[in-house]
Amino acid sequence: MTLPIYVQGAWFVGALLFILGLKGMSSPASARKGIVWAGYGMLIAIAGTFLVPGLQNLALMALALGLGASSAWISGQRVKMTDMPQMVAIYNGMGGGAAAAIAAIEFAKGDVHSPVATTLAVLGALIGSVSFTGSCVAYAKLQGLMKKAYRLPAQNVVNVVLALSALGLGAAMIGLAPANPELIYVFFAVALVLGLIVTLPIGGADMPVVISLFNAFTGLAVGFEGYVLGNPALIIAGIVVGAAGTLLTQLMAKAMNRPISNILFTPMVASGGGEAIEGTMKELSALDAAALMRYAGKVIIVPGYGMAVAHAQHKVWEMTSILEEAGVEVKFAIHPVAGRMPGHMNVLLAEAGVPYDKIFDLEEINGEFGQADVALIIGANDVVNPSARTDKASPIYGMPILNADQAHNVIVIKRGKGTGYSGVENALFYTDNCRMLYGDAQPMAGEIIQHLKTMG
């Protein structure tokens, strides 16, 4: 069926806005605008879909849209910044599930005939199903609903057998098209179980990379099903999401020095690491921390997951402003996997109003720690752990870290002696030039501010 020009036009404009939106999201300065543009793109694409002639079940479509939009609106309003990764996981899973559902309906109707369309529908169904159940497991783990990583005795063999079975069943569906209902049921069951079984053994620290990988899968599945439906907006949106998800997965895996194959087949196990740590942790007061920074020439702040937990970003920015007014040069050093999701620290600092020209990536700032009088670490741990450079037994061995240990003085704000996400001790906290300021990051930053104000 040739669609009316206004439907095609709406889908084209929608797709264009998706691309512009993604371009906007490439920088924190324009990210908010990018999201709004992509949102308008989606609205226009949906409106265009309602104008397709001869649509059936309009009431059901409107009901589904109403339910989806209202629950997304409410959860979007309520979600805490620290819970954002699991929200991304569940939304991504819904996308994969929707792509698989489109394929299921097309197969059930017996509407897919050509070998190309059948192949793409099968691939989309397989990838979308894996992404759906895998993302649900990722959500359950990050939300704390599933506390353990479940690993089968011959996990990798089971993974391979399931993957080959799903591919074999998919090939049979292509060969027999239109396939009989039993074959379709078994294919979807195996594909859904595959997503579950692959994701269950993966630990929490690797989960954001897995979510990003499933995001790429969902994009691909949506693109394939877009071809099956003859919907260019879906094809373009799917390809854009698939490409962005693939790049993000690669960047995160590189930043954690964990090849994707290791993440999927050799999950990270927290251990104490192999190197013995010498020295003791030495405390300092908020007054001493304030004085060290007030009379410093250069301070580099390293924020981490603890700053997000404490919602300390506004206080940190207030402290920075006071230091700058006193003539201290202050920079922010951001590790690519600081926090619990890509760009976590950038988003928080942007929310607090920290100008982008004060925020530096690992490669840009790592050479400057040697000239810094103070490295102030706020709720970061793994991303400044020097044993990642030397301790081959450590689960974070090989991960590039911020060279905070090279600063003349290191101040660490954290609540106690808790380890970071990887579960390993941090040798930096025991070094001679490091002092611990124990407490929740927000009140501690507040105390430093009070002392700075009295120092004039």
For ligand NAP, the closer of residues 45 and 200 by Cβ is 200
Please report whether residue 208 would count as binding ligand NAP according to CB under 6 A. yes
Please report whether residue 414 would count as binding ligand NAP according to CB under 6 A. yes
In our burial notation (b when 16+ CB lie closer than 10 A, e otherwise), range 227-244 reads: bbbebbbbbbbbbbbbeb
Please report whether residue 202 would count as binding ligand NAP according to CB under 6 A. no
**Partners of residue 438 on adjacent β-strands:** 414
Is residue 373 part of the annotated active site? The answer reads: no
Rounded CA-CA distance 422/289 in Å is: 28
Specify burial of residue 73 (Cβ count, 10 A radius: 0-12, 13-18, 19+): exposed
Rounded CA-CA distance 456/451 in Å is: 9
From 122, 200, 380, 449, residue interacting with ligand NAP (rule: CB under 6 A): 380
For ligand NAP, the closer of residues 177 and 310 by Cβ is 310
The residue count for binding ligand NAP (CB under 6 A) is 34
Q: Which position's Cβ is nearest ligand NAP?
A: 420
From 314, 358, 408, 415, residue interacting with ligand NAP (rule: CB under 6 A): 415
The tokens for 354 are 């920290």
CB 218 within 8 A of CB 155: no
Please report whether residue 344 would count as binding ligand NAP according to CB under 6 A. yes
C-alpha 188: how far from chain center: 27
Stretch that binds ligand NAP, among 160-168, 204-212, 320-328, 358-366 (CB under 6 A): 204-212
Please report whether residue 379 would count as binding ligand NAP according to CB under 6 A. yes
From 100, 310, 401, 411, residue interacting with ligand NAP (rule: CB under 6 A): 310
Please report whether residue 309 would count as binding ligand NAP according to CB under 6 A. yes
From 41, 97, 339, 400, residue interacting with ligand NAP (rule: CB under 6 A): 339
- Active-site pick, 382, 391, 405, 432: 382
Taking the complex as a whole, the smallest distance from the CB of residue 157 to ligand NAP amounts, in Å, to 27
> Is beta strand 298-303 parallel, antiparallel or unpaired with respect to 434-438?
unpaired
Distance set, CA 305 to CA 7, 93, 308 (Å): 45, 25, 5
Three-class SS state of 425: coil
Stretch that binds ligand NAP, among 20-28, 59-67, 92-100, 419-427 (CB under 6 A): 419-427
Stretch that binds ligand NAP, among 65-73, 412-420, 429-437, 445-453 (CB under 6 A): 412-420
Residue matched to tokens 């304030």: 290
Three-class SS state of 237: helix
Three-class SS state of 361: strand
Distance set, CA 102 to CA 105, 116, 234, 358 (Å): 5, 16, 12, 46
Please report whether residue 95 would count as binding ligand NAP according to CB under 6 A. no
Please report whether residue 395 would count as binding ligand NAP according to CB under 6 A. no
Tell me, residue by residue from 421 to 450, as one string, x for binding to ligand NAP by CB under 6 A and - for no binding: xx-----------------xx---------
Distance set, CA 422 to CA 68, 221, 346 (Å): 36, 32, 22
Please report whether residue 205 would count as binding ligand NAP according to CB under 6 A. yes
Rounded CA-CA distance 168/88 in Å is: 31
Tell me which residues touch ligand NAP (CB under 6 A).
205, 208-209, 252, 256, 304-306, 309-310, 337-342, 344, 379-383, 413-422, 440-441
Catalytic positions? 382
